[in-house]
Structure 1
């Protein structure tokens, strides 16, 4: 999938499935990008890599045989990290902690070149993937605002209506805490959490933009897509590595006891 195809599909609210990466492991990213996912999202906020790791992993996604584009969750709603991710070749950015329509507008401005925004011109690598023309970058580069705070949820309708915003993305762990959960999986706030998700979906649908969510596994992703989310991310390489390694260890120990 090319950045242009991905942007068109996302803006068209077509169902998309991605995978989340925390690890600085370009060879693993290269393999994951060939499995059929529509995008790989590299976490520069909580992930275990710096700029060079982000660059190397984005390059790995773009190798022959890839079905995916590379996305980056930037560390902050700031023009500097947003610009670095885009210059490195990201097909789009996921911007955390968007609390208001003003925050969303700031994120959009950081992604678009003047006169539409304030992105500084210097597409050192992205020009090889997307092209050096600002009009091409605007067409092929997406910006997604995370809904993960109480303020963001309260202003979600205005956030979704922000001109130039391509979609919203629910961070379920933070959002569950924001609505009063004692833990990121607290069942006591389940009803309120599901109501919050429905509100986000409806706001995005009304605005005609994409609605995405972070999920722990493919089965949950399928449920969320069936509910009306237009894209879902399966998370993540570090957790799944631990889960599968534990499963194999337990199987080996049990077999050895037998």
Structure 2
């Protein structure tokens, strides 16, 4: 394994510093969550909410018609991960949603994306400049 620009520590040492996290974003993965979470060497699971919403029958990534199934899926994944003693993460569009998901039992959340942050900052600068 390489680390940065130089050869890093021995692979065994590196393995102790690297997390193995798999995504749960398909109906099949959701059906097999307990087995996935029990995989030896797995450190966590991570939900891609847009793909999971579509996998649950949503027409778009923000389709609220599957909200009840989506919420049940989130609860299942968080509980199965907790039972297996691994982390459960989820991507969130904003900080308020991240706080909600953490309160629901997720152990980590990613917030937004670099492109969205850049768009928001650019829009704020433009508003300030034209006010």
* TM-score higher than 0.5: yes
1:246 paired with 2:123, answer: yes
**Shift of residue 88 of structure 1?**
4.7
Of 119, 125, 137 in structure 1, the residue corresponding to residue 14 of structure 2 is: 137
Give the root-mean-square deviation of aligned CA atoms. Answer: 1.7
Q: Report the equivalent of 2:6.
A: 125
**Shift of residue 87 of structure 1?**
3.0
1:200 paired with 2:77, answer: yes
Q: Report the equivalent of 1:229.
A: 106
**Shift of residue 146 of structure 1?**
0.4
Specify the SS of the correspondent of 1:159.
Answer: helix
2:116 and 2:7 map into 1 onto residues whose CA distance is 30
Count of residue pairs the alignment pairs up: 131
Specify the SS of the correspondent of 1:142.
Answer: coil
**Shift of residue 126 of structure 1?**
5.4
1:157 and 1:187 map into 2 onto residues whose CA distance is 26
Gapped runs of 5+ residues in structure 1? 1-85, 90-123
Specify the SS of the correspondent of 1:195.
Answer: helix
**Shift of residue 248 of structure 1?**
3.5
1:178 and 1:125 map into 2 onto residues whose CA distance is 41
Q: Report the equivalent of 1:170.
A: 47
Change (3 A) 1:213 1:249: same
Q: Deviations over 1:88-123 (max 9, x none)?
A: 54xxxxxxxxxxxxxxxxxxxxxxxxxxxxxxxxxx
Q: Report the equivalent of 2:36.
A: 159
Alignment of 1:180-219 (within 5 A): 180-219=57-96
Gapped runs of 5+ residues in structure 2? none
1:170 and 1:126 map into 2 onto residues whose CA distance is 32
1:171 and 1:251 map into 2 onto residues whose CA distance is 34
Change (3 A) 1:126 1:227: farther
Give the helix-richer structure, 1 or 2: 2
